Amino acid sequence: MNNLTPSVALPRAGALDAFLRRRLLAQLAPLRDGQLRVRDAFGEVLLGNGHGPLQATVTIDDPAFYRKVAAQGSVGAGESYIHGDWRCDDLVALVRLLVRNRDLLDGMERGPARAAGWLLRGWNRLRRNSREGSRRNIAAHYDLGNDFFALFLSSDLMYSSALYAQADETLEVASTRKLDRICQQLRLQPGDRVVEIGTGWGGFAVHAARNYGCHVTTTTISAEQHALAVQRVQDAGLQDRVSVLMQDYRDLQGQFDKLVSIEMIEAIGAEFLDTYMGTLQRLLKPEGVALLQAITIEDHRYEQARRSVDYIKRFVFPGSFIPSINAIMAAKTRASDLQLVAQQDFGHSYALTLRAWRQRFLAQRAAVQAQGFDERFCRLWEFYLAYCEGGFLERSIGVSHLLLARPGYCTDVPAGGEA
């Protein structure tokens, strides 16, 4: 897959390609903390100071890459990868190197790429997470088919970060640890009434009901997820403890002892963050407590990221956004009486989770294509998983457990312990 020798003749490069190549290479020449080797029809160039562990080789198989980067910036580079215009021997190292040199990438977003960014922002506004918009956005990502996700997720079908105690343990062990950590932080016990916003494929609901004896009401707006979650509850014989709804979180009714929402906050849209936090309060009893597992971005980059459209918003998960811790806390204060009781960051575990998913995905490439997905789809997902892994390794994005409590919650006993 990463063979750097092209199997077909390279397309001819013209004068415009040569000009755009010179401009891009000049922008990237001062790379710090590593080295980037670029091979194309014009020859081979080494970029960067070479000081640091991050090394990557990029082979440009089609000079259209330079035109796409000039026209669309970093989003164009990602699209160019999907189309097979370039390859890399270590995508994660490349992402990490570019994250460390984010200031140099700003030059890629100027000129025509800036105009393209305006158009993409307009397109993204059409993906607003109203009730109908949320159903469309969720379907675009999660309704690819249950069999597809089963190819690379852990056996419990948790599409969220696991919690690793050591790097060499299995994804299954780390995923179960994450579920137990959530249950322990919430102090789940028999008789507790728990509401879950974002069912996934029912992994948490089944685990909590089976191992902690609580009653779980869980909701999703994905038809594919709902069907399989219902089946998994039935197969586990937990119909008396787990209710699986297909309902927008904003329409949930009742009050519960505990609330769980695992990496669902990224799907609500920035403009609905206050609505989400207000809903958490409304669904909890006065002494209730909530556990959020949330992907977060650095506080100082939140506003820029919120306004822009990156590779994931464009090609993977339309309508998504990544909040910052400060943005979550501000919305909590504006819209609820919830208080932060505990926070645990475990971003390195997400990098390990993504690495496991990517390795499994690549090993199942033939099976993915047998389900009707083409090579471009496979490259889209390969880049997506590497892109995210690099981001977590560089801590430009993180993941946290946030324990949020109503005023009547008792905190005299420590919840959950440390990793």
Residue 6 inside a domain? The answer is no
What is the spatial distance between Cα 141 and Cα 180, in angstroms, rounded to a whole number? 27
Residues 253, 171: one domain? yes
Residue 8 inside a domain? The answer is no
Express each pLDDT in 211-227 by its tens digit: 999 999 999 999 999 99
Residues 75, 145: one domain? no
So what's the pLDDT on residue 202? 98
Contact by Cβ (8 Å): 362, 328: no
Express each pLDDT in 145-178 by its tens digit: 899 999 999 999 999 999 999 999 999 999 999 9
Establish whether 378 is a catalytic residue. Answer: no
Residue where one domain finishes, among candidates 80, 108, 124: 124
Residue 139 inside a domain? The answer is yes
Residues 119, 225: one domain? no
Residues 73, 28: one domain? yes
Give the lowest-confidence range in 71-75, 140-144, 335-339: 140-144
So what's the pLDDT on residue 78? 95
Residues 340, 317: one domain? yes
Residue 179 confidence (pLDDT) above 80: yes
Residue 138 confidence (pLDDT) above 50: yes
Q: Could you list the residue range(s) of the whole structural domain that residue 177 is in? A: 131-405
Residue where one domain finishes, among candidates 93, 124, 155: 124
Residues 250, 152: one domain? yes
Residue 395 inside a domain? The answer is yes
Residue 115 confidence (pLDDT) above 70: no
So what's the pLDDT on residue 109? 53
189-to-180, 204, 285, 405 alpha-carbon distances in Å: 12, 15, 16, 17
Residue 101 confidence (pLDDT) above 80: yes
This prediction's pTM: 0.89
Residues 42, 189: one domain? no
Residue 123 confidence (pLDDT) above 50: no
So what's the pLDDT on residue 307? 84
Torsion over CA of 397, 403, 407 and 409, rounded to 10 degrees?
A: 180
Express each pLDDT in 252-263 by its tens digit: 999 999 999 999
Residue 79 inside a domain? The answer is yes
Residues 29, 91: one domain? yes
Residues 150, 110: one domain? no
Express each pLDDT in 359-376 by its tens digit: 999 999 999 999 999 999
The more confidently predicted of residues 389 and 102 is: 389
Residue 10 inside a domain? The answer is no
pLDDT confidence tier of residue 5, bands split at 50, 70 and 90: very low
Residue 315 inside a domain? The answer is yes
pLDDT confidence tier of residue 400, bands split at 50, 70 and 90: very high
Residues 191, 113: one domain? no
Q: Write the CATH number for 69.
A: 3.30.1050
Residues 314, 167: one domain? yes
Domain count of the fold of the chain: 2
Which of 88, 183, 214, 388 is the catalytic position?
Answer: 388
List strands edge to edge, sheet with 43-47: 43-47, 34-40, 54-60, 86-88
Percentage with pLDDT > 90 across the chain: 75
Residue 89 inside a domain? The answer is yes
Residues 31, 162: one domain? no
Residue where one domain finishes, among candidates 98, 124, 150: 124
Q: Which amino acid is at 128?
A: R
So what's the pLDDT on residue 309? 84
Q: Write the CATH number for 234.
A: 3.40.50.150
